[in-house]
Amino acid sequence: MLRISEIKLDLDCHFNDIETACAKALKLERKRLLKTEIYKQSVDCRKGEVKFVFTVDVNVDGDEEKIAMSLDSGKVKVCEKYAYTMPESNRKSTLPPVIAGFGPAGMFAGLILARSGHCPVIIERGSDIDKRTSDVNNFWTNRDLDENSNIQYGEGGAGTFSDGKLTTGIKDSRCRFVFEEFVSHGAPEDILTNAKPHIGTDKLKATVKAIREEIISLGGTVLFDTQLTNIIVANGFIHGITIRDKYGKEKDIETDALILSIGHSASDTIEMLYNKGINMMQKPFSIGARIEHPQDFINTVQYGEYKNHPKLRAADYKLACHPPHGRGAYTFCMCPGGTVVCASSQKGGVVTNGMSEYARDKENANSAILVGVEPADFPSEHVLSGFQLQRKIEQKAFNLGGGDYTAPAQLVGDFIKNEKSTKLGAVKPSFPTGVNMGDISAVLPQKVVNTMRDALVQMDKKLKGFAMNDAVLTAPETRSSSPVRILRDEFYQTNIRGLYPCGEGAGYAGGIVSAAVDGVKCAEAVLSDES
C-alpha cells in the first residue's frame, strides 16, 4: 500500500474529499484507488487558519513502487500493514513467570505470556479497578488515604487516573500493537487514527478490566491487594518471591522469572531491591506544579474563530523553553477539559496530577509545568536520594496546605511577581481536596522556582495569555517519572538472573504506551530465555 502524508483539508471536509486529494497527490484517476483508510488525523491551527491534516493509506491499481518513485514530493512512500507476530517460546521452565505490578507494563507483559501458554502469576499491591475507584473517591471526599489503593497503585497503574493519554515519543512498531489491543478490549477506535490519542479515565477503566479478564481466561492469575516484599536469590539467580496480602499474611512463590513493573512510586519496593544488591543508579526526573486555565480560553487562543466548530474537540497545547537559568522547562501531561487531582500515595504528603475523561468537557484545562532536576540536585549521592527529595517536597506541601491534603496554590501573576496569593481570581481550581492560597515557592526547590518564573513569561510569548494573572498553580508535581533506573543488560535482566526491570518504575518508560511496549519487550525476553 501507499502511505500519503500531509493532506490538508478544511474542517468541513468529507471522506470523498480525502479520496480526491489522495488521487491528486498520486497523480492518478480516482477510480484507480482500490481502498483508502485514514492512518493518522491531526489538527493544524497555525497561521490563524484551522485545518485537518491526514495521513492516508491507499491501495491502488498498479505498481505501487513505481508510482511512489515517480513522485518527488517526499510525501508518498510504500508501506506494509503492520501486524504483531507472537514470538516463539524457548522457555523450558515449568515454573510460572511472575509479574509484579499491573499497570500498562505488567498488563501487556501478562497478555503476551498468557497468549504464549505460560500462565503468569501477576501480583498488584493495589486493588481491582472497581474497589480502587471507590478508594480514590473516598480519599478525595473524606481525605482517608489508603496507601496501597490510590491513584498510584492498583489495577491499570497511575495512568488509569490521568488522561489515558497515548502520545509517545518512541518509534517502536509495537506501539501499533498496543493501540490495537486497547481497541479490541473496548477503547475508542479513534485512538488508532488520532495523532494525539487518549482513551479517557472513564473508558480506560473498562479496558484494563477486559485485559485482565483475557489473561485469566488463558490461565493467568491476578492477585490484587498483594505486595512484593522480598525476592529469594541463590547463586545469582531468582528462585522465588515473598508476597504479603492485605491481611498481613506472607507466603513464598517459586519462580525463575520475575518482571518488575512496579510503577514510579513504589519507593519501598525499590529500597528492598537495593538492599538485596540489585544494581541501580540515580536518574534525572522533573519537578513542578499544575497550571489551570479556562478551557474556553485555550480553545480561543488555539482555534480562534473556529473554536465552536462541531468537529473540533477541546484544544490542547505543548510548550517548552530554555530560560536563562540553564534548565529546561516544559508542559507535561496536558489535560484538556480535565481536572487537577490529588495523587498522594504516602500519608503526610501532597502530590498533584492531571486527569481527563473521554469527553474532555470540564471547565478547565490543566498541564504540569516541569523543570528537570539532576542527580547533582539530590540531597546526597545515595542511589535512593531522589525519592528523599520527592518525599521532602510532598511533606512540605502537605504542611503548607494545612495538614489535611489541601494543596498549596498560587495565582500565576503573584508567582511571577514573587508575591503571596491571598484569594482566587476568575479561575476556579478543580483540586478535589481543596487548595490553600499562598506561596508555592516555599514548597519547591529554588532553582525550580526560578526556572518556572522565567518559563511562564517565555511560554506566554508562544501561547498568548498563558501567564494570565488569574491562572492557578497547584503544587507539587513530583511523580512524572522515577528518580532511579534499575540496570539491565541486552537480555533485559539485572545482575540477578531472571529479574527483568520493566516500565516507568524501572526507569525505562515515560507514559502508558512506552510502558506497555516495554512490558511486551520484557515478556519477549522471558520467552526467549532457554534456561
Q: Which CATH number covers residue 49?
A: 3.30.70.2700
Regarding whether 28 and 14 lie in a shared domain, the answer is: yes
Helices 174-184 and 512-528: crossing angle, nearest 10°?
Answer: 110
Q: What per-residue confidence (pLDDT) applies to 325? A: 66
Structural contact between residues 233 and 240, judged by C-beta atoms closer than 8 angstroms: no
Q: What per-residue confidence (pLDDT) applies to 165? A: 81
Q: What per-residue confidence (pLDDT) applies to 74? A: 87
CB atoms within 10 A of CB 432: 18
Sheet-wide strand order for 237-245: 226-234, 237-245, 250-254
Regarding whether 196 and 109 lie in a shared domain, the answer is: yes
Regarding whether 369 and 407 lie in a shared domain, the answer is: yes
Q: How far is CA 77 from CA 28, 426, 436, in A?
A: 15, 50, 55
Regarding whether 16 and 137 lie in a shared domain, the answer is: no
482: in domain: no
88: in domain: no
342: in domain: yes
Question: pTM of the entire structure?
Answer: 0.95
Regarding whether 323 and 336 lie in a shared domain, the answer is: yes
Radius of gyration of the chain (CA): 24
Regarding whether 117 and 249 lie in a shared domain, the answer is: yes
Instruction: Tell me whether residue 464 is exposed, middle or buried, using C-beta atoms within 10 angstroms of its C-beta: 0 to 12, 13 to 18, 19 or more.
Output: exposed
510: in domain: yes
3-state secondary structure 381-429: CCCCHHHHHHHHHHHHHHHHHCCCCCEEEEEHHHHHHCCCCCCCCCCCC
Structural domain tally of the chain? 3
Regarding whether 446 and 302 lie in a shared domain, the answer is: yes
483: in domain: no
Regarding whether 213 and 311 lie in a shared domain, the answer is: no
Regarding whether 373 and 306 lie in a shared domain, the answer is: yes
Regarding whether 302 and 242 lie in a shared domain, the answer is: no
Residue 471: strand, helix, or coil: coil
Residue 431: strand, helix, or coil: coil
84: in domain: no
Regarding whether 290 and 277 lie in a shared domain, the answer is: no
Q: Residue 526: what are its φ and ψ, rounded to 5°? A: -60, -45
179: in domain: yes
Write out the residue range of the structural domain in which residue 369 sits.
284-477
CB within 8 A of 338, min separation 6: which ones? Answer: 163, 354, 355, 356, 357, 360, 362, 364, 365, 366, 430
Regarding whether 366 and 402 lie in a shared domain, the answer is: yes
93: in domain: no
- Domain termination residue (choose one: 49, 78, 107): 78
Digits of tens for pLDDT over the chain (531 positions)?
999 999 999 999 999 999 999 999 999 999 999 999 999 999 999 877 899 999 999 999 999 999 999 998 789 999 998 899 999 999 999 999 999 999 999 999 999 999 999 999 999 999 999 999 999 999 999 999 999 999 999 999 988 887 678 888 898 999 999 999 999 999 999 999 999 998 988 899 999 999 999 999 999 999 999 999 999 999 999 999 999 999 999 999 999 999 999 999 999 999 999 999 999 999 999 999 999 999 999 999 999 999 999 999 999 999 999 877 678 999 999 999 999 999 999 999 999 999 999 999 999 999 999 999 999 999 999 999 999 999 999 999 999 999 999 999 999 999 999 999 999 999 999 999 999 999 999 999 999 999 999 999 999 999 999 999 999 999 999 999 999 999 999 999 999 999 999 999 999 998 999 999 999 999 999 999 977
Q: Write the DSSP symbol of residue 97.
A: P
Q: What per-residue confidence (pLDDT) applies to 496? A: 98
Q: Which CATH number covers residue 212?
A: 3.50.50.60
